[in-house]
Amino acid sequence: MSKRWKMKSELKYKEEILNELNGLADEQINNLMKIIRIFKESIIQQRELDFGFQREIEEWDKLSDEAIINFEKIL
């Protein structure tokens, strides 16, 4: 994805978000900001969990490979 396309895409979404905010009361916008922050934090946490899970799988694969190699040596 080119940097220029990404910037154009981000601008489009920012404009759409701003259009959605038109007519909302300050309290509603404040609540929406809280929702956005919670959503963003959940994405970050999920990404961290996914990376941790991936590392754990890789470690299990490594241990499994070592176990098979050691088993084959016994044969």
pLDDT single digits (tens) 9-62 = 888 899 999 999 999 999 999 999 999 999 999 999 998 888 888 888 888 888
Cα–Cα distance between 36 and 33 in angstroms, integer?
5
Cα–Cα distance between 12 and 6 in angstroms, integer?
10
pLDDT at 74: 77
pTM of the prediction?
0.57
| Confidence band, pLDDT 50/70/90 cuts, at residue 5 | confident
| Confidence band, pLDDT 50/70/90 cuts, at residue 1 | low
Q: How many CB atoms are located within 10 Å of the residue 68 CB?
A: 10
Residue 53, SS3? helix
pLDDT at 28: 95
Q: What is the DSSP letter of 22?
A: T
